Amino acid sequence: MNICDSSRIDGIIEKIQNKLINALGTTLEDATNDDLYKAAAGCIRDEIMTTWAAGRKKAEDQGAKRLYYMSAEFLMGRAFSNNLINKGLYQDYREAFKKIGIDFDMIVEEESDAGLGNGGLGRLAACFLDSLATQNLPVIGCGIRYEFGLFQQKIIDGSQIEVEDDWLRDGYIWEVERPELSVEVHFNGSIEENWTENGLEIIHKDYNTVIAVPYDVPVIGYQSQVPATLRLWSARSKQRFDLHSFNEGIYDRAMADQAFAEVISKVLYPADDHMQGKMLRLKQFYFLASATMQLMVKNHKKRRGDLHTLPDYAVVQINDTHPTLAIPELMRILMDEEGFGWDEAYQIVKKMFHYTNHTIMSEALECWDENMFKLLLPRIYQIVCILNEKYCQKLRIYYANDESKISEMSMIGNNQIRMANLCVAVCRRVNGVSQIHGDILKQNLFHNSYSIYPQKYLAITNGVTHRRWFALANQNLYKLVQKYVQGDILKEYHLFADLLELKDDPVFCREYDRVKRENKIRFAKYIKEKQGIDVNPDSVFDVQCKRLHEYKRQLLKCLHIIYLYQQIKKNPQMISTPITFIFGAKAAPGYIRAKDIIRLIHSIGEMVNRDPVVKDKLQVVFVENYCVSAAEMLIPAADISEQLSTAGLEASGTGNMKFMMNGALTIGTRDGANLEILEQVGEDQIFMFGASMEEIQNMKRYHTYNPGTIFEESPNIRDVCNCLVDGELLQYGKRKYSDIYQSLLFGEYGQPDQYFVLYDLPSYIETFQKVYDLYENHHEEWIKKAIINTAKSGIFSSDRTIEQYNEKIWNLTKIHTNK
């Protein structure tokens, strides 16, 4: 370390010491790890706040259009280390803690993951804020400040148990409460219509009021002067405490109003397998929509005055269907509060909203019970009814004699309010999140709309921020790449391509392989400390980590592990290099089949890990409470990335991109962004298997899929399936897996297994064997393929994704800074 570096490090230590004394009332000698985290984070926060305030002022002074990115989820991960990367201070702070004799990694561990998301939807939103800030584009990410997040996952006797995720227990140092910007959100009540000399007057009476209080969090981009703002709404009661009832001993009544309000921002995705849960979700999403739209309008009136110019200064992106009610809510505000006529308000609204679809799964295309909707949101119900009536009138121009098509496209039908149809009807642009997904929207899901309004539809492939998922998660690989690549790869994602010519450089290949092994050792240490599991870093790390859903087919991988187990029992010599199968997944609390699959994974693990013949050849590991910080440890360690969704059901995926970027080779179906990874790296660098989307569609159309035939004709598959029910597995709680067995062979509701697991299993077994043989017998070739994957991953940076959104949809102007 030179004198200049030493001086800089000493300056950081001095800042931390001052923060410990002035903010926490302690000294370096007496400080706990939590104190040190808060002090160091406070130092970074001070710098960020200055830049954040200046960036917002520049945006206002330049009259810039602002993006309101609305999402039910923002899976941010830890902010401290990511902020250090983006400020260019990560190594300096690591050296500073080293100089004072403290393990920097232990300080990082003091920060909880923000409990604001679940899976890819929320992680995409987080990556987008990072990339928008990096490109100096003004944005407010709008979400809910969930007090307890989704849930902490505990595994007890192989079963998932949900416990509260009290991530705010020690506060959240990065947020700023903004009570002066609070707004009221109204539920229930009745609507009264009065005709006056100024026209129709709408009066909402006898409603329940919830106060929406915003908490703002700065999200800094890489070397950006215009940090993004993440605005999280917290629900509070207008009357926090009824003292009169309390003094009379009626304690429940004293707290009733508070309980009604504050439950709204307690938990992400409350269980909705009952009416109260469904109603709570509807409250949550309207709460988000109403608060955001109210404040957007207030800000515009304060700064620009004329609401007719609102589309010139604000654009709204609806991330999946959850925030859809922002559309009728803005109509309500413009008409009922600002005096606009219907047509005048609609002309503004239709210019501002855009919708990103993330799934074709019917259960994820939100529909609300019409009676519940009308009771909870009476004025919004009226507006949706009028929107629907006018929309259907337009549709009859094109589909005059086809009421079935109009009924299918209607916002209201079968006593349900359909959020996706509302988005499609009003939004100016509707985009898919991969090229194949965009085609599915046009050709299948929204085909009738596309036939009328083809200009609405486009596809923009998802991306991931390589600052977190490469530079932060894989520090050693980032340092290696810095030695070989000229320029700043964290700013210029296209520089990944410069690694391609290094695939034949023996020195670089050895170093690349060394980094992978170091990452595997790091993960082995992590899982030992967290769960007490010993993992062999010299084994093949085969990883499938993602939300637990049947279409993602963790079950397919389970059957494959049973197959390998049974084959090794017959021939122990067939495996020489051990394989560690690593799963990480949370199942929705009410998703019984998904929970059964988690239990099955653990049963298979018990069977494999305890068998003296197999335990040194195969190992099954389940990462408890999989989250962003766990992913940052695991993804750089992975050798094989498992992307097994049934073709046509995974809109894109982003885990596949993170694994690819960090040098894992993909085994995947021809689905989502797997196809675009294939296009980038070529057939030889990715391992595709299974039925195509077209084959799946034909089997569904002509009813040609017969899993019973596969079962009867393949002794190996028959043995694998029978293992689920014949007692070979060590059963937790003495329960068998007959439900899974039945669904594989006979399906449900008179239909064969809609995920085609047994159909793709033979192809998968064959493909995996090719992958394993390559790793074991041609490791130098494996390394080259891994390097090619990393080199070709730049296109999957969320920086590229944001460039395309801005060019094709938002038309934001970059904020000019002095720097």
What gap in Å lies between CA 541 and CA 516, rounded to an integer? 11
C-alpha distances out from residue 670 to 87, 160, 447, 651, 674, Å: 39, 31, 22, 11, 6
With beta carbons less than 8 A apart as the criterion, state whether 556 and 600 touch.
Answer: no
What gap in Å lies between CA 320 and CA 73, rounded to an integer? 10
What gap in Å lies between CA 78 and CA 283, rounded to an integer? 28
The H or E element spanning position 217 is strand 208-219
> Per the residue annotation, which of 123, 358, 442, 456 is the catalytic one?
358
| DSSP-derived secondary structure for 584-651 | E----TT-HHHHHHHHHHHHHHHHHHH-TTTTTTEEEEE-TT--HHHHHHHGGG-SEEEE-PPTTS--
The amino acid at residue 711 is F
> Per the residue annotation, which of 56, 658, 784, 785 is the catalytic one?
658
Say whether 8 is catalytic.
no
Largest CA distance in the chain: 90
What gap in Å lies between CA 804 and CA 195, rounded to an integer? 47
With beta carbons less than 8 A apart as the criterion, state whether 655 and 629 touch.
Answer: no
Three-state SS at 143: strand
Length of the chain counted residue by residue: 819
With beta carbons less than 8 A apart as the criterion, state whether 641 and 660 touch.
Answer: yes
CB atoms within 10 A of CB 428: 17
Give me the helix-helix angle, 738-746 and 757-777, nearest 10°: 100
How many CA atoms within 13 Å lie on the side-chain side of 282? 28
Tokens for 762, please give them.
């033979």
How many CA atoms within 13 Å lie on the side-chain side of 574? 14
Three-state SS at 612: coil
C-alpha distances out from residue 167 to 75, 209, 286, 468, 585, Å: 13, 27, 24, 21, 19
Say whether 593 is catalytic.
no
> Per the residue annotation, which of 56, 547, 560, 602 is the catalytic one?
547
With beta carbons less than 8 A apart as the criterion, state whether 518 and 479 touch.
Answer: no
Q: What share of the chain is helix, strand, coil (3-state, %, to 5)?
A: 55, 15, 30
Q: How are beta strands 139-144 and 228-237 bridged, if at all?
A: parallel
With beta carbons less than 8 A apart as the criterion, state whether 473 and 709 touch.
Answer: no
With beta carbons less than 8 A apart as the criterion, state whether 61 and 101 touch.
Answer: no
Tokens for 73, please give them.
């989820």
Instruction: Give, in degrees to the nearest 5, the angle at Cα 542 between 536 and 547.
Output: 120
The H or E element spanning position 771 is helix 757-777
Say whether 358 is catalytic.
yes
Say whether 467 is catalytic.
no
What gap in Å lies between CA 581 and CA 565, rounded to an integer? 12
First and final C-alpha spacing in the chain = 28
What gap in Å lies between CA 181 and CA 215, rounded to an integer? 9
Alpha-helical regions (H) of 488-614: 506-531, 554-570, 592-610
What gap in Å lies between CA 63 and CA 191, rounded to an integer? 38
Tokens for 698, please give them.
């034909």
Say whether 309 is catalytic.
no
> Per the residue annotation, which of 324, 646, 654, 666 is the catalytic one?
654
What gap in Å lies between CA 11 and CA 14, rounded to an integer? 5
Say whether 546 is catalytic.
yes
- Output the CA torsion sign for 356, 362, 363, 366: positive
> Per the residue annotation, which of 552, 560, 670, 784 is the catalytic one?
552
Write out the catalytic residue numbers: 358, 546-547, 552, 654, 658
